Structure 1
Amino acid sequence: MSVRHFLTLLDLSKDELRTVISRASELRQMQHKGEIYRPFVGRTLAMIFEKSSTRTRVSFETGMGQFGGQALFLSPNDTQLGRGEPIEDSARVISSMTDIVMIRTFAHERVETFAKHSSVPVINALTDDYHPCQLLADMQTFFEHKGDIQGKTVTWVGDGNNMCNSYILASEQFDFHLNIATPKGYEPNSELVARYAHRLTLTNSVADAVKDSHLVVTDVWASMGQEAEQKKREADFVGFQITPKLLDTADKDVLFMHCLPAHRGEEISYDLLDDPRSVVWDEAENRLHAQKALMEFLLKDKIKLA
């Protein structure tokens, strides 16, 4: 059987994505009840970090530990990846010694190249183009709080970045309409917009985008690697802050999400994370459960499920 990878949401079918999310909620309940489930005893996850992280490292490493496996933290500072070894060679070697690999890096092509030469499943834990693991957690969180997202209206506010790109793919895979509100010049990938135009409404008006939405999502104005643009972006993004007052114009049952870390006083008001419509803490925790479900799915032919 060919190796399955998870580089974008398109690597799983619509039904498979829903299966993973449903399983993630089951795993969350099991973990909260203190149930011990260790299907990964003797299995190893290689975690390659070329971008720093809090939630990604903690969730994957904790998840493997809870499953009875082990996780190896690999950074460019202590591997040959940082000394010029071709990624194809690293992929062949690392995958020959481990059972599954996650990569957090800059160029999406690096993850694609690694996966092409890997003999085990590869998970995209974030690239400059996509962040599919975060979308699994976001969808899980919505399903747990409000039920099926099919037919709902979701609004993305802010930069047309990797998270925005992933929400575009999610709109297709989970069958919802996506409003995208960005400042001029910060629109998402034009090829994705053209391909999924039937799912999208693009605007420069936050008020128009948020009105009657069931889910509102945002991210920092300057992502990792864009720190030099911080001051310019602060000026360009004036008027794109999410506040409780703005959420009042959305659907009465609206949820607010943010992949974190959040910059209070910039993309969100200082009080927004304490608003009862904010589910960011459940969203953050669900990175653990969604990724456990994903790894279980990708290795299902090698393990005995509970």
Structure 2
Amino acid sequence: MANSSHFQGRSLLSTRDFTRDELMWLIGFGLHLKDLKRRGVPHRYLEGRNIALLFEKTSTRTRAAFTVASTDLGAHPEFLGKGDIQLGKKETVRDTALVLGSMFDGLEFRGFKHRHVEELARYAGVPVWNGLTDQEHPTQMIADFMTVVEEFGQLEGRTLTYCGQGRNNVQNSLMITSAILGVDYINATPDELAPDPAIVEVAQSLAAESGSTITVTDDAPGAVAGADVIYTNVWAAMGEESQFAERVRLMAPYQVNADLLKNVRNPDYIVLHCLPAFHNAETEYAADILDRFGVGEMEITDEVFYSEHGRQFQQAENRMHSIKAIMAATLGDLYVPGV
């Protein structure tokens, strides 16, 4: 059984660095902090602490979640954007880590290279939290599975189907985290965009321990049939927009739409999306895609997005509560014993 002492001073770079019990503890603590927030009960576990938020990549939810979480916990968040940090350009990651670690009590990093967040954690001397790299998105996972627990009460026996291209950070983390937590995981994706075999191998090894299964298939209707959770994501990640014409061709059969969801047997299934979602053409980006490719809805349709099954906004709110749990547990020196 995990307790708060398991987390003190640790970084969160990947969910694979934590046990099933530890991840479930963080999910449970996130739910507890959400309840305290709803009831207006103060929980200033990080009073007087200073947190650096390092953002090479732009962000809405991650930045907002870390900022509000820090403030609720009594800490001061300082945002450092891509114009403020010079990781590997004018200053080495090691030097940046040594300097910021001497001034701040914790560092969040959202950027490109996973080795950069690993170097920050190696040299900073304070907890480092991975807000997203090209390889993984671990803080998103705590929010995602927290949402599933809220909906179904437990994770055991549940199946999560991801309909989307298999080679991105969210898919990597979903596959690995499902395996750790004992959730059956199916990735429905075209063969050309199948997951990295190394990630699949790691996940299958973890799944063997937890008793879950990992499946990769190109059969979207079959993949969603037994699902409790259908998860989707953008067809082209940051930096991949040049490949969009090919992505539209490959990914159209995996769009989460009403026809696909007719195959789902569980009437109480939920739909998740890490956002932003391109479910209509009401943004400049999506309007440009519509103009150039004739596609007005991409990975998910408007009808499904705003349906009674959608939990993406609950999931987005849970980013803040779960990040608050991660920060408080690793930096707050809590007394919350295991039983």
> Does 1:209 find its partner at 2:223?
yes
Cα separation, 2, equivalents of 1:81 and 1:267 = 33
Match runs of 1:273-288 below 5 Å? 273-288=305-320
- Three-state SS of the structure 2 residue aligned to 1:73 is strand
Structure 1 residue 208: Cα displacement: 1.0
**2-11 or 207-216, larger mean C-alpha shift:** 2-11
Which runs of 5 or more residues in structure 1 are unaligned?
Answer: none
Structure 1 residue 32: Cα displacement: 1.3
Matched letter for residue 163 of structure 2: V
**246-255 or 110-119, larger mean C-alpha shift:** 246-255
Matched letter for residue 193 of structure 2: Y
1:220 to 230, 234, 253: 234
1:258 to 269, 273, 277: 273
The residue that corresponds to 2:169 in the other structure is 162
The residue that corresponds to 1:171 in the other structure is 178
Question: Is the 2:149–2:155 contact (alpha carbons within 8 Å) kept by the matching residues of 1?
Answer: yes
Matched letter for residue 259 of structure 1: C
- Three-state SS of the structure 1 residue aligned to 2:31 is helix
Cα separation, 2, equivalents of 1:69 and 1:304 = 19
Structure 1 residue 55: Cα displacement: 0.2
RMSD across aligned positions (CA):
1.6
- Three-state SS of the structure 1 residue aligned to 2:101 is helix
Cα separation, 1, equivalents of 2:300 and 2:35 = 30
- Three-state SS of the structure 2 residue aligned to 1:34 is coil
1:123 to 121, 124, 129: 129
Cα separation, 2, equivalents of 1:95 and 1:304 = 25
Cα separation, 1, equivalents of 2:320 and 2:89 = 31
Cα separation, 1, equivalents of 2:169 and 2:156 = 22
- Three-state SS of the structure 2 residue aligned to 1:78 is coil
Which runs of 5 or more residues in structure 2 are unaligned?
Answer: 280-296
Inter-CA distance 245–33: structure 2 relative to 1 (3 Å threshold): farther
Structure 1 residue 245: Cα displacement: 3.5
Match runs of 1:44-55 below 5 Å? 44-55=50-61
Cα separation, 1, equivalents of 2:263 and 2:246 = 29
Cα separation, 2, equivalents of 1:17 and 1:261 = 25
> Does 1:94 find its partner at 2:87?
no
Structure 1 residue 82: Cα displacement: 7.3
Structure 1 residue 304: Cα displacement: 6.6
Cα separation, 2, equivalents of 1:55 and 1:193 = 28
Match runs of 1:53-72 below 5 Å? 53-72=59-78
Q: Identity across aligned pairs (percent)?
A: 35
Q: TM-score, normalised by structure 1?
A: 0.95
Cα separation, 1, equivalents of 2:114 and 2:81 = 17
- Three-state SS of the structure 2 residue aligned to 1:185 is helix
> Does 1:191 find its partner at 2:198?
yes
**230-239 or 41-50, larger mean C-alpha shift:** 230-239
Matched letter for residue 130 of structure 1: E
The residue that corresponds to 1:231 in the other structure is 245
Stretches of 4+ aligned residues off by more than 4 angstroms: none
The residue that corresponds to 1:143 in the other structure is 149
- Three-state SS of the structure 1 residue aligned to 2:132 is coil
> Does 1:114 find its partner at 2:120?
yes
Cα separation, 2, equivalents of 1:267 and 1:3 = 39
The residue that corresponds to 1:77 in the other structure is 83
Cα separation, 1, equivalents of 2:198 and 2:254 = 24
> Does 1:290 find its partner at 2:290?
no
Matched letter for residue 175 of structure 1: G
